[in-house]
Structure 1
């Protein structure tokens, strides 16, 4: 008798949980994410005006900072090691050099919004160009 009541109680809990999920609010594509600060100590300051191409390309300190900054701010959507699980583009396939820099700059400064849904927030003001070009420097080390 006790075993049967326990089984019924578990079934009721499972049904209640499933029912509450049906009425949960819709999640936004990107979610409520707060950018994490990036320590760019050791990198040249770049000023307010965004560069058109990556000034840190091949810079070992920038690559080190970029790896950490990517894990803190980008990996939740673009995957660890930039290996996407399908939620966001796989950044290993981003074109190297100035052509890839142009797309990268556009996306990180303006974000990605489709049909009023934020798929990627604007990171330019939140992280600054030093941190974002450092991320770009690291991305080129894992490019396919």
Structure 2
């Protein structure tokens, strides 16, 4: 059995330990029993942001957005599609900057949508502006080399 990875549940945001060789077995969250790696997008707030990105052994891509933002609304289904395509490889999350101003300020969000890719809790890449699912995938491939 391989060493366990820490994976955050996109539904209840709890940390789960999953052996790396069992990632393809469609593991469920130990707390809420929902799928961990189905490509669902987590909804973060000021309280959950640091723990979600800091405790995950998978890279985490966070979409900083706002409900009044037209490009954010246009990109939302593309972000969801990319999350399904990258399931088990990258965790996807959204953070509403109006509801979580502390986190938005901490990461210096000046325009939305802004995407930040985290590894080990640290920012490794950033991109601003709406993107299609194909553009998101190409950007992720480039960043995760």
Q: What is the TM-score of this pair, normalised by structure 1?
A: 0.28
Rg: which structure is higher?
A: 1
Q: Greater relative contact order: 1 or 2 (C-alpha under 8 angstroms, separation 6 or more)?
A: 1
Higher helix proportion: 1
